[in-house]
Amino acid sequence: MQKNGNRTRRRFIKGAGVAGSVALAGCGGLTGSGSESTSDKIVFYNSGSLEFDPGTAENIDRFEQETGITVEVNEVPWSNLKTSLTTIWRNQDSQVDVFNGPTWWLADFVSSEWLEPIDLDSDHMNKFPDPLVDLVQFDDQTYMAPEFGKWGTYLYDQQYLEQQGFDSPPGTWDEVLSQGEQLSQGEKSGFAFTWADKSVFSFKQFLYQAGGQLFNDNNEPVFREEGVQALEFFSDLRERGIIPDGISSLGEGGIGDNFVAGQYATVESWTPLGSRAIEEWEEGRVGSARPPEGPGGRATFQDTNGISISAFSERKDAAQQFARFMTTRQSCKNNMLVEGNPCVVPDVYDDQEIKDEYPSWLLEDMRFNLENAQSETYMAQPQVDDFLNEQITTALLGNKDPETALSDAQSNIENLYQDIGLI
């Protein structure tokens, strides 16, 4: 698992230096003067349309009503958001004040000095799990306020498993394999994964379950040994006919739709698929469980979105208020009630309003997954992920054995990090 997260990030942020930042981002940033007064308006870049983010939309309405600050929302397609922000900040433009995005952009953004630290006291941050706090802090300063999560959940068709003679879903990798062969009947597959178009996310989840991590405290890639175990597990799934025919990567799309359509017995899903299955299936059919335990545990991959502030904003005081408001306990809870996104505050799962909305068995698993979710922030994330994706797919296609594929990926990433001065 990821170890000594804060120490790791302090080292690579400082170690990247000017050359590393320029190589990755195009130029270093300059922070604002800090003399900005509270404004009556801020510009917020949302990743996608608010039509599909009703929880965010409702919390924005609450913020405007309570503070009198108008939020001008720029709905940027997810695929364009990082590019749009990078272009703005390279020009040191103040047109965006705050945005929401994933934790895995943070390392490059912070290194380039494009983000303003967020003034959040310990009471605000202590409500989040430690692994999540580690992801958003660098040198003891917070650069993203956690808003909502989308991490893995293990779902299964309870009625179908009972018909096949199973009282409970697979609890380990070995049981996924042993039960999966019996659960794969006709056009029904025993297992599938739903991180659509995100093969590296899927790989990291099973890497963590194998007890591994991508990087050590010296920014050296160290994923090969445990990564081979993860890829060999997927090869076993394919060879035994447990995953759908034609799966060639860990980023196949459409799995959520197919699970709801009854084509899969179990899925390693990303939320909020569980909420959708509850709505569309008859009562008592969908089941939830903790992720099957691998050689290193039951960790799931953490994909958390949060609010960050532009270093070039001329309305930083209002932006600070927005970041704080959107990530209070109440706002996080409201996002879960309205949209179904898992809350990033563990004690919300004991809240009576949440209990009235979701079954207790699902809440227990969602809270477990939140508190045991793992992730890493690392420099040159797009390049690193490209190297990983290329070799993972090659191995799953059978064109390279897993050890050779991951050795090549590890070597390519080492060369990249040496070139930009991280190791």
Whether residues 81 and 228 fall in one domain: no
The fraction of the chain above a pLDDT of 70, given in percent, is 87
Q: Is residue 2 part of a domain?
A: no
Whether residues 130 and 235 fall in one domain: no
Whether residues 288 and 172 fall in one domain: yes
Predicted confidence band of residue 43 (pLDDT cuts 50, 70, 90): very high
Whole-number pLDDT of residue 2: 39
Q: Is residue 77 part of a domain?
A: yes
User: Which domain, by its residues, includes 132?
Assistant: 24-150+305-374
Give pLDDT tens digits for 220-236. Answer: 999 999 999 999 998 89
Whether residues 364 and 384 fall in one domain: no
Check: pTM over 0.75? Answer yes or no.
yes
Q: Is residue 123 part of a domain?
A: yes
Q: How far is it, in rounded angstroms, from Cα 401 to Cα 387?
A: 16
Q: Is residue 16 part of a domain?
A: no
Whether residues 181 and 247 fall in one domain: yes
- Joined together, the tokens standing for residue 23 give 């190589």
The total number of structural domains in the chain stands at 2
Q: Is residue 39 part of a domain?
A: yes
Whether residues 269 and 182 fall in one domain: yes
Whether residues 211 and 179 fall in one domain: yes
Phi, psi torsion values for 95, nearest 5 degrees: -70, -20
- Give the mean model confidence (pLDDT) for residues 142-150: 93
Give pLDDT tens digits for 70-114. Answer: 999 999 998 899 999 999 999 999 999 999 999 989 999 999 999
Q: Is residue 8 part of a domain?
A: no
Whole-number pLDDT of residue 38: 64
CATH number, position 118: 3.40.190.10
Whether residues 314 and 368 fall in one domain: yes
Whether residues 102 and 187 fall in one domain: no
Whether residues 198 and 140 fall in one domain: no
Whole-number pLDDT of residue 257: 85
Q: How far is it, in rounded angstroms, from Cα 216 to Cα 210?
A: 16
Average pLDDT, the chain: 87
Question: Among 94-108, 266-280, 285-299, 336-350, which stretch is predicted with the lowest mean pLDDT?
Answer: 266-280
Q: Is residue 183 part of a domain?
A: yes
Whole-number pLDDT of residue 340: 82
Q: Is residue 332 part of a domain?
A: yes
Predicted confidence band of residue 6 (pLDDT cuts 50, 70, 90): very low
Whether residues 223 and 237 fall in one domain: yes
Whether residues 66 and 165 fall in one domain: no
